[in-house]
A and B are shown apart, each in its own frame.
Chain A
Amino acid sequence: MDLRWTPEQDDFRHEARNWLVEHRDQWLQSCDHRPESGDTKTGFAQHLEWERMLHQGGWAAVSWPSRYGGRDASLWEWLIFEEEYYRAECPQRVTQNGIFLLAPTVFEFGNDAQRDHVLPRLAAADDLWCQGWSEPNAGSDLASLTCRAERVDDGWLLNGQKTWTTRGAFCTHLFGLFRTDPEQQRHRGLSYLMVPLDADGVTVRGFGRLDGDEGFAEVFFDDAFVPDTAIPGGVVLGGVDDGWAVAMATTGSERGLTLRSPGRFTAAVNRLVDLASETDHAVTDDIADVWMRAEAYQLFTLQTVTQLANGASIGAESSINKIWWSELDIGIHELALDLLGPDAELEHAWSKAFQFALSGPIYAGTNEIQRNIAAERLLGLPRK
């Protein structure tokens, strides 16, 4: 056991820190120090500028192989990068669904042509991906989805509706699950498709979220034709009718460490501690409590990454991980609002972040579903 970073890891940290701070300031200048949220139309465009800067600096996807636009960094370095990213208060990544959810799936299930096409364009923020899983009648019960993809000459014909699609209105592409064999029930007969949103017959309508941003969308497919050639290597990721297994690999990333790296929360608790001093409050036991929970999440992740580095894979543990970070996030922000007192009702970074934190127990599989998974798979309790 050695909990120290190596000198090489420290060097990496400094390189990342210097680059991030310098370029963040450049970016802030370029948008007059008033960037909007990345979940609005204007903000999305501003954020893309930032993400292209990241890509030019080689920081868009540090842990990817360099041939796809990464810098071959280890998971350790990825964690360090994330820590520095949040510490420097760099902007939220509007490409995160592509980078953290689609990309790991393409690495695992894609063919060479798909990888060569999708990954570099994703890293460069040329193609902007949203996640099309949920449907109005298929939320937690995702396997009941009814959006159809029908095989026709040279492509697929899509019909149905997706909803709650994060940043769908600003993205260029959607990855999602479609029913390709209507004879088969539930998990069977689904395929994982990559769909350009400019195809004829696709209509995207944006709508507002609780936190005031426009970031949701519903996506309608009305005999939308997607040719096989829309994505070199094909639009189906993994096997036809095998989409469930492919998709489940992605949910692991979503709940596990990649979507919510600990740096995000350690940075937030540090800001909370600063807020206490700005508002003339002591560091109370409650603040110490969320500070410890953020720190424990960090330590848990370091143990997980050590296991991954030793060749293990993460399973249902990602479910308790998800409950932990989502509840922690709410805990941090509730305390911030308490410190702000009556000003908590004003719209500012803390109140917005609080409202966003409230969605944590809902997206990426609700916490109730995660508790079921943890009880059944980690404790071996009966399903029915």
Chain B
Amino acid sequence: MHFSFDDDHHAFADATRAVLSEQCGPDVVRAAWEAPAGQLDRAVWDQLVGLGVNALLVDEQHGGLGLDEVWAALVLEQTGRAALPHPLVESAIVAAAFDPSVVDGTLISTDLGGPNVPCAADADRLLLLDERAGALHLVDRESVELVPDTAVDRSRRIATVVWSPSPDSIVTDDAAEIALARDRGAFGTAAVLLGLADSMLAMTADYVRERRQFGVPVGSFQAVKHQLADALMQVSFARPAVHRAAWSIARGEPTRRRDVSMAKALASDAGVTVARTALQCHGAIGYTVEHDLHLFLKRTFALSRCWGSAADHRRVVAAAITRERDRDRDRHGATTTV
């Protein structure tokens, strides 16, 4: 048993963090709110491509790094910290299994996480699920029709995709592969949520140390301290669950699905708790669009319900517990008859 990351994992994540803190400040996230559809700036994306972030899960034969989800976990947390507006989870974690050109920066989005496809107009390709046939297709963005939607978080750049499946574009109709793709998306999103939560907590702690009312910093009030301590606790206990999910996917553990669902449920709940606490502790300034907090809040509210909400994933875990219990009971029954 050894439940921690290696120095190499940390080094990769630190490099990502350095790029993001230089190239992906709140101004970049705000710019993503403003940019016309299809014109999202890719400067930071290209930097991440240069680092090899997009190539993480692609095998070496195809020009990738041949690494696994354990490496991705810390990297994705960093992108969450920066509220990176590009669909890195969709491209590098989900679509990479079907299209190694992500290595060169091909931006791929998908409807696997839900009907609202993020960054659809900015994607080079789309990974789309034909639910009826149970098949996954990879299509060029030009070949489909996009109906733009207005999202609460404008930097998500949401659209619905209108398309008709053709046999030529099928990349898999294997239910297990599609399930794995979904698990990767849910895990990746959970990791991003941890990063968003970290940023909101840090922002809020800084703010309440500075903001004075009644002659003292508001952070010296217990009502404020206790809310923040609880929020911190939620994230601290969601984090190892996300890390375990990474490991379970990387190793193809039989409990993979349950572990991923547990991670997404805890991370979604933690994200929402932190977001609400951060807003409350900021007071009205946090309720303005001038303040950066709202960029993180809205992303959190969006991601907490994409790739399955906490409630959806809790149900998956409940079903897994029921199955495990019934299996154990059968086994029990068998041994008592011997």
B70 with A1: CB separation less than 8 A: yes
B265 with A292: CB separation less than 8 A: yes
Q: Confirm or deny: B228 has a beta carbon within 8 angstroms of a beta carbon on chain A.
A: yes
Given A1-B70, A381-B209, A283:B321 Cβ within 8 A: yes
Chain B residue contacts of A313, Cβ below 8 A: none
B1 with A4: CB separation less than 8 A: yes
B2 with A1: CB separation less than 8 A: yes
Chain B residue contacts of A297, Cβ below 8 A: 237
Q: Confirm or deny: A19 has a beta carbon within 8 angstroms of a beta carbon on chain B.
A: no
Given A296-B266, A300-B240, A288:B315 Cβ within 8 A: yes
Chain B residue contacts of A381, Cβ below 8 A: 205, 208-209, 217, 219-220, 224-225, 228
Q: Confirm or deny: B144 has a beta carbon within 8 angstroms of a beta carbon on chain A.
A: no
Given A293-B237, A296-B241, A284:B229 Cβ within 8 A: no
Chain A residues numbered 288-309 whose CB sits less than 8 Å from any CB in chain B = 288-289, 291-293, 295-297, 299-300, 302-303, 305-307
Among residues of B, the one whose C-beta sits closest to the C-beta of A292 is B262
A291 with B209: CB separation less than 8 A: no
Q: Confirm or deny: B285 has a beta carbon within 8 angstroms of a beta carbon on chain A.
A: no
A384 with B220: CB separation less than 8 A: yes
A1 with B209: CB separation less than 8 A: no
Chain B residues numbered 235-270 whose CB sits less than 8 Å from any CB in chain A = 236-238, 240-241, 243-244, 247, 262, 265-266
B236 with A380: CB separation less than 8 A: no
Q: Confirm or deny: A174 has a beta carbon within 8 angstroms of a beta carbon on chain B.
A: no
Grouping DSSP codes into helix (H, G, I), strand (E, B) and loop, the B interface class, with mixed when no group exceeds half, is helix
Among residues of B, the one whose C-beta sits closest to the C-beta of A270 is B325
Chain A residue contacts of B321, Cβ below 8 A: 273, 283, 287-288, 291
Among residues of B, the one whose C-beta sits closest to the C-beta of A378 is B232
Chain A residue contacts of B18, Cβ below 8 A: none
In this complex, the interface size class of chain B, counting residues with CB under 8 Å from chain A, is 35 or more
Given A277-B325, A285-B311, A1:B5 Cβ within 8 A: yes
Chain B residues numbered 1-48 whose CB sits less than 8 Å from any CB in chain A = 1-6, 9
Interface size, chain A (Cβ < 8 Å): 51
Q: Confirm or deny: B222 has a beta carbon within 8 angstroms of a beta carbon on chain A.
A: yes
A292 with B219: CB separation less than 8 A: no
Given A306-B4, A381-B209, A289:B229 Cβ within 8 A: no
Q: Confirm or deny: A9 has a beta carbon within 8 angstroms of a beta carbon on chain B.
A: yes
Chain B residue contacts of A107, Cβ below 8 A: none
A6 with B232: CB separation less than 8 A: no
Chain A residue contacts of B232, Cβ below 8 A: 320, 374-375, 378-379
Q: Confirm or deny: A229 has a beta carbon within 8 angstroms of a beta carbon on chain B.
A: no
Among residues of B, the one whose C-beta sits closest to the C-beta of A300 is B240
A371 with B226: CB separation less than 8 A: yes
Contact of B314 among A273, A288, A379 (CB under 8 A): A288
Contact of B317 among A292, A368, A374, A384 (CB under 8 A): A292
Among residues of A, the one whose C-beta sits closest to the C-beta of B311 is A285
Q: Confirm or deny: B318 has a beta carbon within 8 angstroms of a beta carbon on chain A.
A: yes
Chain B residues numbered 314-338 whose CB sits less than 8 Å from any CB in chain A = 314-315, 317-319, 321-322, 325, 329
Distance in angstroms between the alpha carbons of A375 and B243 in the assembled complex: 24
Chain B residue contacts of A317, Cβ below 8 A: 236
Interface readout for A299-336 with B: 1 if CB under 8 Å, 0 if not?
11011011100100000010110011000000000000
Given A1-B2, A380-B209, A291:B229 Cβ within 8 A: no
Given A1-B4, A1-B70, A306-B2, A296:B229 Cβ within 8 A: no
Distance in angstroms between the alpha carbons of A250 and B325 in the assembled complex: 39
Q: Within the complex, what minimum Cβ distance (angstroms) separates A78 from chain B?
A: 12
Chain A residue contacts of B244, Cβ below 8 A: 3, 299
Q: Within the complex, what minimum Cβ distance (angstroms) separates A225 from chain B?
A: 43
Distance in angstroms between the alpha carbons of A310 and B216 in the assembled complex: 41
Chain A residue contacts of B151, Cβ below 8 A: none
Chain A residue contacts of B233, Cβ below 8 A: 320, 323-324, 374
B216 with A379: CB separation less than 8 A: no
Chain A residue contacts of B226, Cβ below 8 A: 368, 371-372, 375
Chain A residues numbered 1-43 whose CB sits less than 8 Å from any CB in chain B = 1-6, 9
Chain A residue contacts of B325, Cβ below 8 A: 273-274, 277, 283
B1 with A2: CB separation less than 8 A: yes
Contact of B229 among A282, A303, A306, A371 (CB under 8 A): A371
Distance in angstroms between the alpha carbons of A178 and B197 in the assembled complex: 44
24 A-B pairs with CB atoms under 8 Å apart are: A1-B9, A3-B1, A3-B244, A5-B1, A285-B315, A287-B318, A288-B317, A291-B317, A291-B321, A292-B265, A292-B266, A296-B262, A303-B240, A320-B232, A323-B229, A368-B226, A371-B222, A371-B226, A374-B229, A375-B229, A376-B225, A379-B225, A380-B205, A381-B224
Which 6 A-B pairs have CB atoms at the shortest separation, nearest pair first? A375-B225, A299-B240, A288-B318, A374-B229, A371-B229, A381-B219
Residues of chain B touching chain A, judged by Cβ–Cβ distance below 8 Å, are 1-6, 9, 70, 201, 205, 208-209, 216-217, 219-220, 222, 224-226, 228-230, 232-233, 236-238, 240-241, 243-244, 247, 262, 265-266, 311, 314-315, 317-319, 321-322, 325, 329
Q: 8 more A-B contacts (CB under 8 A) besides A292-B262, A300-B236, A381-B209? A: A287-B321, A289-B314, A299-B241, A306-B2, A310-B4, A380-B205, A381-B217, A382-B217
